[in-house]
Amino acid sequence: MSSVPGMQTTDVARSDLKYNKSQLCSLCDVRSLGICGALDQTDLLQFERLGRHVHFAAKEALFTVGEPAGYVYNLTAGVVRLYRLLPDGRRQIIGFALPGDFLGTTAFDRYGFSADVIETVAACRVTRDAFSLFSESRPHLLRRINEFASRELMLAYDQMLLLGQRTAKEKVATFLIGWRDRLARIGDTKKTIRLPMSRQDIADFLGLSIETVSRTLTAFEREKMLVIVTGGVRLLDAGRAEALAAV
């Protein structure tokens, strides 16, 4: 299968899998977190034949809003930024995807948002048509997909609340605690909350200015709730951050 125009991806052919056993679906570290967790060994082998293992470097696009929706992606490594551009040129980030997340499903023929890479991404890419045929005869997989869709609706609802009447401190604390919990879900339980996204990304996600995000983090550090470190923050008073996030 050739690469999508404009994407410098690397496909791993089936004949090469004996040299890349770490990429076999059955050995995938995040299988239990993704849609593949619903598949038994027989289904998994069939699904594996449909996919190609692809890699994207930082700033590359998986897909762009309005582009024909030709592929779905099961992330196995890295961080992806999901966003739309507003008519006036401003950017609204609608989320960040992590390993185990499934991207590209849509009820329409074109993607409804853009997805680009923050940290180098590895993913299993399947054509949308092949995935539709595969899932139609597997109700257990459809149930899993519906679970993911329900979770996305809940996240969208939470995002509306986040962009509503909350203060800047509440918004930033909610983001930090939510991101910490998502990292823990994929096994990243370090004391430092890794923040691969930029301050501008966080601002665009929370509906704040970059200056407000920076001032808020500095205020939290001055109040000894956290320490800003290279590549992230370390919580000193997680209880207070959680209380702010729960308001």
Residue 20: predicted pLDDT: 41
Checking if the pLDDT of 152 tops 70, the result is: yes
Q: Which residue has the higher pLDDT, 157 or 243?
A: 243
- The arrangement of secondary structure in 14-161, i.e. its CATH architecture, is Sandwich (2.60)
Checking if the pLDDT of 243 tops 70, the result is: yes
Q: Tell me the CATH number for domain 164-246.
A: 1.10.10.10
Question: Residues 116-133: what's their mean pLDDT?
Answer: 94
Q: Which two tokens stand for residue 70?
A: 């030709």
Q: Which two tokens stand for residue 150?
A: 């329900």
Average pLDDT of the chain is 86
Q: Which residue has the higher pLDDT, 22 or 207?
A: 207
Residue 126: predicted pLDDT: 94
Predicted structure pTM score = 0.83
Residue 39: predicted pLDDT: 86
Q: Assign 22 a pLDDT band (cuts: 50, 70, 90).
A: very low
Residue 11: predicted pLDDT: 40
Nearest in space to 53 (alpha carbons), one of 32, 85, 78, 86: 78
Domain ranges of the chain: 14-161, 164-246
Give pLDDT tens digits for 34-61. Answer: 888 888 888 888 888 888 899 999 999 9
* Distance between CA atoms of residues 142 and 140, nearest Å: 5
Ramachandran angles phi, psi of 72, nearest 5°: -120, 155
Q: Which residue has the higher pLDDT, 159 or 176?
A: 176
* Dihedral sign, Cα of residue 220, residue 221, residue 226, residue 231: positive
> Is 54 in contact with 10 (CB distance < 8 Å)?
yes
164-246 matches 14-161 in CATH topology:
no
Residue 168: predicted pLDDT: 95
Residue 13: predicted pLDDT: 32
Residue 48: predicted pLDDT: 85
> Is 125 in contact with 51 (CB distance < 8 Å)?
yes
Q: What angle do CA 107, 113, 115 make, to 5 degrees?
A: 120
Residue 16: predicted pLDDT: 33
Q: Could you tell me how far CA 65 lies from the centroid of its own chain?
A: 16
Residue 2: predicted pLDDT: 32
Residue 74: predicted pLDDT: 92
Question: String of b and e for 229-240 (b: at least 16 CB within 10 Å)?
Answer: eeebbebeeeeb
Residue 137: predicted pLDDT: 87
| H or E element that contains 127 | strand 114-127
Residue 27: predicted pLDDT: 75
Q: Assign 131 a pLDDT band (cuts: 50, 70, 90).
A: very high
